[in-house]
Amino acid sequence: MLQRCLDLLAPALEGPEPVVVDCTLGLGGHSEALLERFPGIRLVALDRDKEALRLSGERLAPYGERANLVHAVYDELPEVLHRLGIARVQGVLFDLGVSSMQLDEADRGFAYAQDAPLDMRMDQTSGVSAAEVLNTYPPGELVRILRAYGEEKQAKRIVSAIVREREREPFSTSARLVELIRDALPQAAKRTGGNPAKRTFQALRIEVNGELAVLERAIPAAVKALDVGGRIAVLSYHSLEDRLVKQVFAAGAATTAPPGLPVVPERYQPRLKLLTRGAELPTEEEIAENRRAAPARLRGAQRIREDVE
């Protein structure tokens, strides 16, 4: 859905020296496409993964000072812009979730299809690993995480098995966890929804990286950073992310006036205009080309009014 993201942002990037923020740099594919299509932009790109910054830095080196790569989590956007002396931006792009690089590097522990250390940290220099979560969290907290972040209906059954196993030997690798989940689930639960470990791995990844809490702060901060006329595009990959984005955009596009006013004062007018009808889905061709695009959901919005205190 890269081209659709570029098309959504394009009308905001036609002015003099526009600034665009790629909040999820990864290997730099989206950033490179932005720099290539819009020769006048200045790019600010964020990532918490130092290896991603190194690799994308090599990829974007030909663009010189037009590309500013920053080691930061995307809810730190206001601080990053302040340090760079940027008051407002004209475009913001989020491509949420785990990057292809992180999935493909076995030793990161994100993928349930190959054995690896249970890490799952996007920034391997800080925070607790997935193994630490599995080995130290109370059973009730593990159940909550699997239900809330993985939407796992069999959370209690899986956690009971985890607690029994961790007392025998602490968890350290992904293959052991995948095998435990397969053994713990009833046959009916294993017949649908792909790999039965998928939801547990998603839940652990979100917990380890604080993804939903970060996103809950990041989307409003990004909207606030937009200049009037500026645009934001967000690609999410599961319902929890998409729901947060939808709520922020819907609130910004709604009037806050008390009911019954004959004329709505300026301070109650919407701040955003929605650019997508609901969430846009990838085409069959895009899914055929990249299976990881299948769950993608795209939402866009435009800043149409300043905040009025």
**51-61 per-position pLDDT tens digit:** 889 999 999 99
In this prediction, residue 105 carries a pLDDT of: 55
DSSP 273: E
95 is in an annotated binding site: yes
DSSP lists the bridge partners of residue 93 as 22, 233
Q: Where do the H-state alpha helices sit in the chain? A: 2-9, 29-37, 50-60, 77-83, 100-104, 130-136, 139-150, 155-168, 174-184, 187-190, 198-209, 211-225, 239-252, 284-289
Range with lowest mean pLDDT among 61-65, 74-78, 97-101, 227-231:
97-101
Identify residue 22 by its one-letter amino acid code.
D
- At residue 94, φ and ψ (nearest 5 deg) are -120, 130
Q: Would you say residue 70 has pLDDT above 60?
A: yes
Q: Would you say residue 306 has pLDDT above 90?
A: no
Q: Are strands 42-47 and 67-71 parallel, antiparallel or unpaired?
A: parallel
Q: Would you say residue 4 has pLDDT above 80?
A: yes
Q: How far apart are the first and last CA of the chain?
A: 37
pLDDT band of residue 163 (cuts 50, 70, 90) is very high
74 is in an annotated binding site: yes
In this prediction, residue 76 carries a pLDDT of: 96
102 is in an annotated binding site: yes
In this prediction, residue 284 carries a pLDDT of: 86
* CB count in 10 Å sphere of residue 260: 5
Q: Would you say residue 99 has pLDDT above 60?
A: no
Range with lowest mean pLDDT among 37-46, 58-67, 117-126:
117-126
Determine the distance from the C-alpha atom of residue 7 to the mean position of all C-alpha atoms in its chain, rounded to a whole number: 20
The arithmetic mean of pLDDT across residues 12-20, rounded, is 91
Q: Which of 107, 233, 97 lies closest to 172 in space, CA to CA?
A: 107
47 is in an annotated binding site: yes
Mean pLDDT of the chain: 89
Q: Would you say residue 107 has pLDDT above 60?
A: no
pLDDT band of residue 258 (cuts 50, 70, 90) is confident
Note the pTM of the prediction, 2 decimals: 0.86
The rounded distance, in Å, linking the Cα atoms of 62 and 121 is 30
The rounded distance, in Å, linking the Cα atoms of 240 and 236 is 9
The angle subtended at Cα 140 by Cα 134 and Cα 146, nearest 5°, is 60
The rounded distance, in Å, linking the Cα atoms of 280 and 277 is 7
The arithmetic mean of pLDDT across residues 173-196, rounded, is 82
The arithmetic mean of pLDDT across residues 121-146, rounded, is 92
In this prediction, residue 6 carries a pLDDT of: 94
The rounded distance, in Å, linking the Cα atoms of 240 and 190 is 23
Q: Would you say residue 92 has pLDDT above 60?
A: yes
Range with lowest mean pLDDT among 90-94, 201-205, 261-265:
261-265
The arithmetic mean of pLDDT across residues 90-98, rounded, is 90
Q: Where do the H-state alpha helices sit in 90-151? A: 100-104, 130-136, 139-150
Which domains, ranges and CATH numbers included, belong to the chain?
102-209 (1.10.150.170), 231-245+252-268+296-309 (no CATH)
In this prediction, residue 273 carries a pLDDT of: 96
